[in-house]
Amino acid sequence: MNILEKIVTDKRREVLAKQSTLPVDFLKRSPLFQRPLNSLSEKIRSGSGIIAEFKRRSPSKSVINQNAVVADVVKAYKEAGVSGISVLGDTKYFGGALDDLIQARNSVTIPLLRKEFIIDEYQIYEAKAFGADAILLIAAVLKEKEITEFSKLAKILNLEVLLEIHNKEELKKADLTDINLVGVNNRNLKTFEVSLQTSKELSKLIPEGKVKISESGIGSVQAIDELKAYGFKGFLIGENFMKTDDPGKSAKEFLKQLKSE
């Protein structure tokens, strides 16, 4: 069993436990459930295109930044000029919590992406109830029918969808009708090797009208310039900022450099 399979197995247990304590009807009563959408796709098209991530650790790098305070980091990201913020909520493997999402929502108004291993519709209701504007669907862990059903539910709940792919087979199996953004993860989730060539090769297969996002391994302005030539509008950056003592300052310096190019 590889790391991705382990995460999904644990996630199914976690979701079952949550459903018994916080049912969907309870989530629907959240004050944030009727909150209007702040479109991530529109902000990416009109802004810097940078999606800065908040995460404490990962299976590939262990501890990244265990002492970061959600409110401080997301406020600094917003001031730096990012288009959106990705909040990683998995606890066991990434050190996150669903509470991080609502803390971020209480701190900023810019679009928030709930980055999670979504394997059940329940998690989509959760995302809405805790203040997300968009959800991540990982094609590698979902069946074709699940991608379709989950993206339809997200649209009904006024959430955008970022579909993450790693190869052309994952893209081909997905109905993109209700999907706003397509992200190419340059990190192989089985080996954790990273290559921007993955984004470059898959870019031509992503239909026009879908916002192209490149994820993982983006640590320089040069990398972004290279990817823009392939039609990418958005760039998800996590460890490059979070591994520093001051993620917000790191993001600000990066975006300043990006603007000067």
By annotation, the residues acting in catalysis are: 53, 55, 115, 164, 185, 215-216
Q: Which residue in this structure is represented by tokens 């504007």?
A: 133
- Residue 73 has which token pair? 């980091």
Closest CA to 232 of 256, 215, 249: 215
DSSP string covering 59-93 = TTTEES-TT--HHHHHHHHHHHT-SEEEEE--STT
Backbone angles phi, psi at 57, to 5 degrees: -155, 175
Strand runs labelled E in the chain: 50-54, 57-58, 62-63, 84-88, 112-115, 134-138, 160-165, 181-185, 211-215, 234-237
Q: Are strands 57-58 and 62-63 parallel, antiparallel or unpaired?
A: antiparallel
Alpha-carbon distance values, 71 to 65, 108, 215, 251 (Å):
14, 8, 23, 15
